[in-house]
Amino acid sequence: MRLTLFLFFISFIQVFAGSAYSQATRISLNLKNSTIKDVLYDIESKSEYYFLFNSQLVNVDRRVDIEASNEKIEQVLDRLFEGQDVGYTIMDRQIIIQPSSMVPGKSVQQNKTISGKVTDSSESPIPGVSVVVKNTTIGTITDNNGKYTLPNIPDNVILQFSFVGMRTQEIKVEGKFVIDVKMQEESIGIEEVVAVGYGTIKKVNLTGAVSAIKIDDKITSRSLPNVSSGLSGLIPGLTVSQNSGMAGKNDVSLLIRGLGTVNNANPLIVVDGMPDVDINRINMNDVESVSVLKDAASSAIYGSRAANGVILITTKTGKGMKKTTVTFSSSFTTGVPTSTLSFMTDYPRALTLEQRAAAVGTLRSNWVYKDGTIDQWMALGMIDPLRYPNTDWWDITMRNSNVQNNNLSLTGGTERSNFFISIGSMDEKGLQIDNDYSRYNARFNYDYKIRDNMNVGVRFSGNWSKFIWGMEDGFTDDTENTGGFDIYTAVAGITPYDPVTGYYGGIMAYNENPQLFNPLVYFHQNLTHESRQEVNPSFYLDWSPIKGLTARIDYTLNYYNEFSYNAPTPTRAYNFQTNSYGSRVYFGDNAGISNYTYTGYKTMLGGQLNYEKVIARNHELKALFVYNEEYWYNRSQSASRNDRLHPSLHEINAALTDVISNGGSSNTEGLRSYISRINYTAYDKYLFEASFRYDGSSKFLPGSQFGFFPSASLGWKFTEENFIKPLTQGWLNSGKLRISYGGLGNNSGVGRYEQQETLGTSNYMIGGGITKGFVNKKMVNKDLSWETTNVMNIGLDLAFLESRLTAEVDYYDRLTTGMNRPSDLSMLLSGGYDAPRRNIGDLRNRGIEGNFTWRNKVGSFNYSVNLNVSYNRTVLEKWNEYLGRGATSSSNYVFIDMPYNYVYTYVDKGIAQTWQDVYDATPQNAQPGDIIRLDLNGDGRISDEDRKADPNHQRKLPTTNYGLNVNMSWKGLDLAVLFQGAAGRKEFWLTGFNNVDFGLNGFAPDWAHWDNPWSVENRDGIWPRLRGNNNRTETTFWLDDLSYLRLKNVQLGYTVPKSLMKLGLNNVRIYGSAENLVTFTKFRGLDPEKVAHVSDAYPLVKSFTFGIIVGF
């Protein structure tokens, strides 16, 4: 420490010694956000110059950033007053500052016309370049030939040339009449500015692991239901998995660097500084950029909220001194399933069912269909389809989806203010019939400079949505809480619906089974209607009382209200053969109504102090101090009644009060935080950052409420070293080594009243009768505390060949300790107590990720290729309860030194072809056609001990994710191609759709499993024999590799040349886009991307979009 201070002191002395040497003729400065007056005073303090000025004539309170190194005083003053009507006169050591017209020897400016041509590095003209007089609204844009003309321009101004993707250039007029400009491409990557917690930073100065993307037309033009879907395949270390293609519920699962905890492992979402915003309700067109904070150094500023990483979303704002622009975009999308199950229609299904029943020896009296039924059915089906139907239930209940998107935005600004206003609408018709979703978004961002050192701003966003559905997760999944009411249970021989009479069929031919199910009824007559409203207003005030110090106060509110109702229409099954109602009642006369309301709000009040100081010339210090308070409140209420008076009435009072059910609850939570961050840069190559957050949560008891979460990181730009530069010249443009370590917390797995005793209702026997009352229902663990996560990260950033090739590589090691789970005390508790939660386990997460980009330009042809890949392995290291082989926690397999929810299965040797194969195997009640399991432990019997653990695969998450993104453009044409994939996940495909133990039912399975099962006559069958009771056991026969490569998006666009545009348009782009085009996988089910249930047959959507973007 003493050596460090000594070296720092020596460098300080050297800098000031250099300044003293050059006082007479040279000036050195490095001032940021300083007034003209302060700059002049600083020059006086470092030289023998002194200034005379009249503050009534010259604005000396204007703030500037200025840097000079051993420069003449004239050079410094010219730069200080550039673009201003200010001149100076130097008389020895006295300098007079006054308006240009008052400077002796200078006459009033004569304005003139400036013209020129703007080209790129290959001399090709660039249309649409903005050419403006700096610090004014005077300007124009280049025409289709890259030419421009600016009349009536003074000689002492500066012209700014700017274009998207190019470096902004500033050129002094100074006697010129023709100014031609060759623009250079923006240096993307290490030069870009990225959002971090409570601020922004140049990527070149990052010491943590942060990935960021700009949201441009290539992303907003895709058919995406939400922002999170658009991140798939673009950011290394971010796993994006879509669970369903259902309209209104097609959100995705987001994980940063794999599974960080067995509790809630979702990352924190922060939008414009507000945590906990629903990412799926944001309008993609409002988003400017997305940053993903992945390690402790970058995330620790969010403390207990950031154990699983942070996703920062920054919305668009206006740009000062820019004329108002209007942008309108509209698109239409149509979609089909990415893949489908090949359900049998009625005739072949019924015939196959009978053939298989005969093959396995089922008594004819027990067959589902009587003799002659199928023949007559097939003969009369075309003539009388109501009585002899041939139904494809998948086709009946599915349709092509479509989405209509419209967005309108206005953006602009003046010298003192800027604004961004947008409205958007989305109307989506889902793949499932009667599944509709509509959403409206609005946003208003406004910033105003009250005075030079004070700014105020407001942010307002809102969204309003309506959602209608008949069945949710399991409309084709017998394992999903549908009560058997899904397509799987639809039986051959039922007429779906007669549009003339309005009857729903429910009786098979000849009344074989009058109690069979018609799923169409539940799609049409049992709809749930949900509406939601959400608003997010916020306010901030910035004040800079002295140079380098900025104080900020902000307040944010998030309010939401959700209401839903379900009112099934009374419906009875109809027998079209007898023209009468059957006994099946889908919804009887007592069909009622149920309501549900969920309302809540969150507030956040914060105060910040930011301090920046340049110490000498080569040392820069930044400090941030934050105080933050967050408060949550929500309330839910539900009510239901039976016997609705009329199907058209949807109010709770429209039903009788004979049967009433109601409930409700409310809860609150508070979080108080103290935050600090220090950044120090030396010689622009040695970087240091330290931060901490001290969080107090109302979820814990006093003594455990507060958690302290510190982090530190270092960065070294080694290519800035003089001894390295000769070795890297010509091929390595920049290189930076990063290392960080820090701690984070997590309380998301803890309930808001986890450490408080709560009461529940119970029955008491008093005086021989039952009396209702309240009783303590839960044991409390007073020692319950925070989950803590410690993360180590080592990263390397490189740029080669004039930054055309960039590479970012990170290795990380994350250890989560004290994961809380319910105690395994249920067998020891009596009296209906709920077991308390305990800090019970440790989980380690290691991985490596890389992001590689090549950019180049050949003439007018621009292209870029980006490859990002990440590998992650999660291992359970500690569990404070006994774990035997096959132990589970919340249905997930858990064992020490194994991945969480690892693959644990019997190993099989295939299908037994003969009785000899059965005799040679370990006894397991098998016969020819059955799957033969192996006796792995050699004890002569098949038991749980014969199952084998796979340490390299998890059942719900892949270990490897990757994306390949290619972009090309040429003279207005642009093409984007995105591939995305995953590997390292396995799961059993063992559902009702491949049920080979079909019994006597007529359920609707997939064609493949009925078409080619093993039999004596078909020993080459690829499926086990029908009715084999042991063939539905989890074995390697049913274990599928869910690795996949998907052509995620292909997009072709054309930007219309400005020479062809009329009516004041400045930008027109038309495009076509296709999403989820092709998937390459060995998985036999619907889609390998789905996380929750591979058995759920609601497919993802393959979509095709056409759209237009118009700018005014």
Q: Strands 619-641 and 63-71, how do they pair?
A: unpaired
**Rounded CA gap, 665 and 344, in Å?**
47
- Mean pLDDT on 633-651: 89
pLDDT at position 110 is 59
Residues 6+ apart with CB under 8 A from 77: 88, 95
Selection from 358-362, 708-712, 835-839 with the highest mean pLDDT:
708-712
pLDDT at position 221 is 79
DSSP annotation string for 683-700 = TTTEEEEEEEEEEEETTS
The predicted-structure confidence for 646-693, as pLDDT tens digits, reads as follows 888 888 888 888 778 888 889 999 999 999 999 999 988 999 999 999
Could you count the other beta carbons within 10 Å of the beta carbon of residue 5? 9
Q: Strands 199-202 and 210-214, how do they pair?
A: unpaired
pLDDT at position 1079 is 94
- Mean pLDDT on 746-755: 79
pLDDT at position 952 is 86
pLDDT at position 596 is 94
pLDDT at position 533 is 96
pLDDT at position 10 is 31
Secondary structure (3-state) at 1029: helix
Local structure of residue 778 (DSSP, 8 states): B
Residue 558 has pLDDT above 70, yes or no: yes
pLDDT at position 145 is 82
Residues 6+ apart with CB under 8 A from 537: 458, 459, 460, 556, 557
Q: Strands 769-776 and 199-202, how do they pair?
A: unpaired
Q: What would you measure as the largest C-alpha separation in the chain, in angstroms? A: 120
pLDDT at position 897 is 86
The predicted-structure confidence for 253-298, as pLDDT tens digits, reads as follows 899 999 888 888 889 999 988 888 888 889 999 998 899 999 888 8
Residue 1001 has pLDDT above 80, yes or no: no
pLDDT at position 886 is 66
| Residues 669-693: b if buried by 16+ CB within 10 A, e if exposed | bebbbbbbbbbebbeeeebebbbbb
Residue 1010 has pLDDT above 90, yes or no: no
List for the chain the helix, strand, coil content (%; round to 5).
15, 50, 40
Backbone angles phi, psi at 286, to 5 degrees: -90, -10
Are 210 and 289 spatial neighbours (Cβ–Cβ below 8 Å)? no
Instruction: Name the nearest CA neighbour of 164 among 1059, 993, 862.
Output: 862
Are 848 and 811 spatial neighbours (Cβ–Cβ below 8 Å)? yes
Place of tokens 């020596």: 10
- Mean pLDDT on 516-542: 88
Strand extents, DSSP E, 452-579: 454-469, 504-505, 528-546, 549-566, 571-575
Burial class (CB in 10 A: 0-12, 13-18, 19+), 1056: middle
- Mean pLDDT on 237-246: 86
pLDDT at position 1016 is 84
- Mean pLDDT on 1030-1036: 85
Handedness of CA 87, 89, 90, 96 (dihedral sign): negative
Selection from 125-139, 505-519, 765-779 with the highest mean pLDDT:
125-139
In the sheet that holds 139-141, the strands lie side by side as 139-141, 130-133, 158-162, 169-172
Angstrom CA distances, 192 to 211, 620, 876, stand at: 11, 19, 38
Are 321 and 137 spatial neighbours (Cβ–Cβ below 8 Å)? yes
pLDDT at position 745 is 85
**pLDDT band for position 354 (50/70/90)?**
confident
Residue 1082 region, left (φ>0) first, then alpha (ψ -120 to 50), else beta? alpha
**Rounded CA gap, 1095 and 478, in Å?**
8
Residue 343 has pLDDT above 50, yes or no: yes
- Mean pLDDT on 606-630: 90
Residue 301 region, left (φ>0) first, then alpha (ψ -120 to 50), else beta? alpha
Q: Which of 247-261, 605-619, 857-871, 983-997 has the lowest mean pLDDT?
A: 983-997
Residue 108 has pLDDT above 50, yes or no: no
**Rounded CA gap, 1004 and 998, in Å?**
10
Q: Which residue has the higher pLDDT, 124 or 176?
A: 176
Q: Which residue has the higher pLDDT, 998 or 112?
A: 112
Local structure of residue 228 (DSSP, 8 states): G
Selection from 151-165, 320-334, 924-938 with the highest mean pLDDT:
924-938
Q: What are the structural domains of the chain?
A: 2-102 (3.55.50.30), 112-182 (2.60.40.4130)
Q: What is the CA angle 49-55-60, rounded to 5?
A: 70
pLDDT at position 101 is 63
Instruction: Name the nearest CA neighbour of 200 among 622, 518, 567, 574.
Output: 622
β-pair partners for 628: 606, 673
% of the chain at pLDDT higher than 70: 87
Backbone angles phi, psi at 34, to 5 degrees: -105, 150
Q: Which residue has the higher pLDDT, 54 or 717?
A: 717
Residue 477 has pLDDT above 90, yes or no: no
Are 255 and 308 spatial neighbours (Cβ–Cβ below 8 Å)? yes
- Mean pLDDT on 138-161: 84
Are 621 and 686 spatial neighbours (Cβ–Cβ below 8 Å)? no
Local structure of residue 498 (DSSP, 8 states): -
In the sheet that holds 94-99, the strands lie side by side as 50-53, 94-99, 86-91
pLDDT at position 1089 is 87
Model-level pTM?
Answer: 0.81
**Rounded CA gap, 612 and 199, in Å?**
13
Residue 704 has pLDDT above 90, yes or no: no
β-pair partners for 789: 744, 816
Residue 936 has pLDDT above 50, yes or no: yes
β-pair partners for 837: 822
Residue 183 has pLDDT above 50, yes or no: yes
% of the chain at pLDDT higher than 90: 32
**Rounded CA gap, 1107 and 221, in Å?**
7
**Rounded CA gap, 122 and 179, in Å?**
18
Are 289 and 314 spatial neighbours (Cβ–Cβ below 8 Å)? yes
Local structure of residue 151 (DSSP, 8 states): E
Mean pLDDT of the chain, nearest integer: 83
Provide the token pair at 954: 């998890």
Residue 829 has pLDDT above 60, yes or no: no
- Mean pLDDT on 217-244: 85
Place of tokens 């009768």: 769
The predicted-structure confidence for 15-67, as pLDDT tens digits, reads as follows 333 333 334 557 888 888 888 888 888 888 788 787 877 777 788 888 888 88
Q: Which of 577-586, 619-628, 737-746, 1058-1067 has the lowest mean pLDDT?
A: 1058-1067
Residues 6+ apart with CB under 8 A from 471: 432, 482, 485, 486, 519, 522, 523
Residue 556 has pLDDT above 90, yes or no: yes
pLDDT at position 214 is 87
Residue 71 has pLDDT above 70, yes or no: yes
pLDDT at position 1090 is 77
pLDDT at position 25 is 54
- The full length of the chain comes to 1112
